Amino acid sequence: MKAIILAGGEATRLRPLTHNIPKAMVPVLNRPFLEHLINYLKKHKIVDVILAMGQPSEQIQNYFGDGSGFDVRLTYSVEDFPLGTAGAVRNAEKLLDECFVVLNGDILTALDLTAMMNFHREKKPIATIALTPVENPTIYGVVETDGQSRVRHFIEKPHWSEVTTNMINAGIYVLEPDILSYVASNTFFSFEHDVFPPLLEKGRAIYGYPFESYWIDIGTPEKYFRLNRDLLLRYIGDKDVKLEGESFVHPSAQIEGPAIIGESCFIDRDSVIKGPAIIGPGCQIGQGATVEGVVLWQNCEVAKEVKLRNCIIASNCYIGQRSEILDNCVLGDRVKVKEGSKLPKGASIQPNEVV
């Protein structure tokens, strides 16, 4: 079975992190988010993957190539203009000749995709939609099903008075090729609004596949930060420290896990790193600096006696001596923080700014 990852789409809410990088390429545990999605598909024996995305696409194609370095076969379907979730799949129609999986490119999950595909083969609908429970369904698309899991009704972003279930569209579909006959070519079309509801009106069978395992989207910096922490705790453990290559760590430096230190880092004397912490490759942590609960991208310089806590800092930033960047701050790439600066909690700094 083939899979399509919808790797394009709007990334405004994830800024300033995605100003100069596609959302699919933001680092998670020092690897592009898209690499985690590809590894997820491989676990379910899906190695033929189509990446549907918009312009520009060079960063993704340059990193992944034909997929051979990741033990998959990658094909690229590039849109000239935004086509929506269904339009992007229709754009790749010539690559699809059998049942296939569609995965939104901004979610990560532990859903048993193999079991979902088997469910789809058993029920034989035109579409099967993964459904997951959430605390606040009003910000998602709610999906009502009957006692046999057949979809009865869709409500997109309902008011609380309209909520009849907390099961929402999780952005993972198993689809039959003939569903594309319901999608206009070269037109913005979404599954959620333009395909699934009309199919129900025509009496076509759509099933929901409920699951309660891990699911998260990276639509905001807060969720992106949470995903990094969740995976760090899952893969590294509570107190472990992983060095991903050769780095210099001064004997007086203290590193308390869970933490990942990328290759070619320099951790100076008397510095303190407290997990959960992810330090990207090529970073420098200065003498006496304290770095706690951070996601730090690559090639950042953290000067002497800096305090970082519970923040996200993108690539190539410089943090001047004795400055403080604390809770929920987000810095885009190439930001320069002047010596002694104290950013307010929750500050969001656009790329290339000096603060």
Structural domain includes residue 141: yes
The answer to whether residue 136 scores a pLDDT higher than 80 is yes
CB neighbours of residue 214 within 10 Å: 14
Q: How does strand 107-109 pair with strand 127-133?
A: unpaired
Are 161 and 294 contained in the same domain?
no
Structural domain includes residue 281: yes
Are 209 and 249 contained in the same domain?
no
Two structure tokens written together for 309: 């806590």
The domain in which residue 307 lies consists of 239-349
- Which of 191, 219, 247 finishes a domain? 219
CB neighbours of residue 264 within 10 Å: 17
Per the structure, the count of domains in the chain is 2
Q: What is the pTM of this model?
A: 0.93
Structural domain includes residue 227: no
Give the model confidence (pLDDT) of 242-298 as tens digits.
999 999 999 999 999 899 999 999 999 999 999 999 999 999 999 999 999 999 999
14-34 in b/e form (b: 16+ CB < 10 A) is bbbbbeebbbbbbbbbbebbb
| Cα of 260 vs its chain's centroid, Å | 19
**Looking at residues 295-314, what average pLDDT do you find?**
97
Are 328 and 200 contained in the same domain?
no
CATH number of the domain encompassing residue 323: 2.160.10.10
Are 189 and 85 contained in the same domain?
yes
Are 285 and 212 contained in the same domain?
no
**Side-chain half-sphere exposure of 333, counting CA atoms within 13 A:** 13
- The Cα–Cα gap between 184 and 176 comes to 16
The answer to whether residue 199 scores a pLDDT higher than 70 is yes
Mean pLDDT, the chain, whole residue set = 93
pLDDT of residue 160: 87
Are 207 and 245 contained in the same domain?
no
Are 244 and 198 contained in the same domain?
no
Are 272 and 174 contained in the same domain?
no
Q: Which residues pair with 258 in a beta bridge?
A: none
Are 200 and 140 contained in the same domain?
yes
